[in-house]
Amino acid sequence: MSFPQLLKNELLAILRNPVVALTVFGGVIFYSFLYPLPYANQVSQELPIAIVNLDRSQTSYQLERMVDATSQVQVVQRDHIIAEAKAALLKQEIGGLLVIPEHFYKDLLLGKSPTLAYAGDASYFLVYGTVVEGLAKAGGTLAAQVKVSHLLVEGVPIAQAQSQYSAFSLNMKPTFNSRMGYVDYVVPAVFVLILQQTLAMAAGLIGGTQKSVHIGHEHAYWLKVSPLKLLAARCITLISVYYLLAMYYFGGSFEFYGINRLASMTDILTLLLPFLLASSFIGALLGDLLPRKELVTVVVLISSMPLIFLAGFIWPVEAIPTALVAISQLFPSTPAIQGFLALNQMDANWSDVSYQWTLLWGQALIWGMLCFIRFRHTSKRTVLAGQ
């Protein structure tokens, strides 16, 4: 069988198999809309909280209004005792509660630092962090007003007091995430993982399906070619298809969600070549090793969460156990995500991702050798069984 004919048969093996076609095209396109959907609003706003004001002074009521005026929180109830607010928190009617202590105004006049108490469910870290940010903003603004008032009483001119109430001036400017949103932060890395997982499932499902076909089947073209030739044709076909899907992800999808694309498409596709090659080898190896093709999907899906957390963008690599970091280097998603984020989100030079690119080629070589050895072993066993 000629190599072009083999490529045609491999492409038909993708298109004519509904499970493989749905995984490749349906999975990639479906996830391009499904995964960013929870992050469409980018950040949480107007989270409901309760305030327990034990001071009931004019200044404490001013703090209440300032808290309610922030974009992060909305005061939905005001209680006189902590037990009432706590009950609402346990019923999940509110996202948190703020307690203004007794003698709040008195402590401010005496120059002391009163402690504002906040309680919330920290298991919802996004909600918890947003509420704390809003409370800190309101508290900081009130503290600045009190400080300026004290300076005015001491005879400091108002212009000087406004500039000296704080020892430093903070000017924050986001570098790599200009909108400070979760779409820009999470989606680019997850798209890389989706490409790897769906590609591995597709390669495994093709191999698993073909393995279950009877040896004497007249259309079993994969039994009529050498393992090396078959593996080369399968990888070329899958990589060609996934190059198109990658351009959809990092081109059209990024444009749709307003995600920055700082790297050139040439650099992105160059980085993706060993990544897609290694992913194809992993999938083909799983399809040949596992007894049933359905197990390919199970194994790949189970590995998704560990791989995304070990990639180093959700949790710092320095805080991950060394053994787990070493294991993560065996899978292409880890260097691919790190290299892609550096190139596309941080505008790094190609030399800055040379380590990740070299590691990807090393992975492609190792996984490719393992896959070829397994294919050759399976081919010999099939020939013996046919005899």
Same domain, 204 and 109: no
Nearest-angstrom CA–CA distance, 265 and 244 = 12
pLDDT beyond 70 at 217: no
pLDDT of residue 162: 56
pLDDT of residue 261: 83
Same domain, 61 and 90: yes
Q: Nearest CA to 187 among 342, 40, 312?
A: 40
pLDDT of residue 124: 63
The 10s digit of each residue's pLDDT in 129-187 is 677 777 777 777 776 666 666 655 666 676 655 555 554 455 556 667 666 667 777 88
pLDDT beyond 60 at 337: yes
Nearest-angstrom CA–CA distance, 67 and 65 = 5
Inside any domain, residue 172: no
Q: Which of 155-159, 244-248, 383-387 has the highest mean predicted lDDT (pLDDT)?
A: 244-248
The 10s digit of each residue's pLDDT in 232-242 is 999 999 999 99
User: 132, 164, 196 — which closes off a domain?
Assistant: 164
pLDDT of residue 257: 84
Neighbour-count burial of 127, counting CB atoms closer than 10 A to its CB (0-12 exposed, 13-18 middle, 19+ buried) = middle
**How many independent structural domains does the chain possess?**
2
pLDDT beyond 90 at 336: yes
Is the overall model pTM greater than 0.85, yes or no? Answer: no
Give the CATH number of the domain where residue 88 resides. 3.40.1710.10
The 10s digit of each residue's pLDDT in 57-91 is 888 888 888 888 887 788 899 988 889 988 988 88
Same domain, 189 and 104: no
DSSP states along 187-230 = HHHHHHHHHHHHHHHHHHHHHHHHHTS-TT-TT-GGGSS-HHHH
Q: Beta strands of the chain (E only): which ranges?
A: 47-53, 73-79, 96-100, 117-120
Q: What are the backbone dihedrals phi and psi of residue 207, each rounded to the nearest 5 degrees, phi first?
A: -65, -40
Residues composing the chain: 387
**Mean pLDDT value across residues 188-193:** 92
Inside any domain, residue 232: yes
pLDDT of residue 96: 84
**Mean pLDDT value across residues 112-123:** 77
Identify whether the C-beta of residue 151 lies closer than 8 Å to the C-beta of residue 119: no
Same domain, 96 and 207: no
Inside any domain, residue 195: yes
Same domain, 24 and 58: no
Same domain, 306 and 201: yes
pLDDT of residue 384: 46
Query: Which tokens in the block code for residue 193?
Result: 């993982």
Query: Which tokens in the block code for residue 103?
Result: 């003698």
Instruction: Give the dihedral of Cα atoms 329, 331, 337, 343; nearest 10 deg.
Output: 70
Identify whether the C-beta of residue 187 lies closer than 8 Å to the C-beta of residue 260: no
Same domain, 33 and 53: no
Inside any domain, residue 9: yes
Same domain, 255 and 317: yes
Same domain, 83 and 7: no
Higher-pLDDT residue of 385, 65? 65
The 10s digit of each residue's pLDDT in 265-297 is 889 999 999 999 999 999 999 998 998 888 999
pLDDT of residue 123: 65
Nearest-angstrom CA–CA distance, 312 and 229 = 36
Q: What are the backbone dihedrals phi and psi of residue 100, each rounded to the nearest 5 degrees, phi first?
A: -95, 115
pLDDT of residue 380: 66
Inside any domain, residue 70: yes
**Mean pLDDT value across residues 337-358:** 91
Inside any domain, residue 169: no
pLDDT of residue 220: 76
User: 164, 196, 219 — which closes off a domain?
Assistant: 164
**Chain mean pLDDT for the chain:** 83
Inside any domain, residue 174: no
User: 164, 193, 218 — which closes off a domain?
Assistant: 164
pLDDT of residue 382: 59
Nearest-angstrom CA–CA distance, 153 and 167 = 19
pLDDT of residue 68: 85
Same domain, 346 and 254: yes
Q: What are the backbone dihedrals phi and psi of residue 166, each rounded to the nearest 5 degrees, phi first?
A: -125, 150
Same domain, 241 and 157: no
pLDDT of residue 387: 44
Range of the domain at 200: 3-39+179-386
pLDDT of residue 209: 86
Q: Which of 130-134, 258-262, 314-318, 323-327 has the highest mean predicted lDDT (pLDDT)?
A: 323-327
Same domain, 194 and 311: yes
Inside any domain, residue 371: yes
Query: Which tokens in the block code for residue 122?
Result: 């920290």
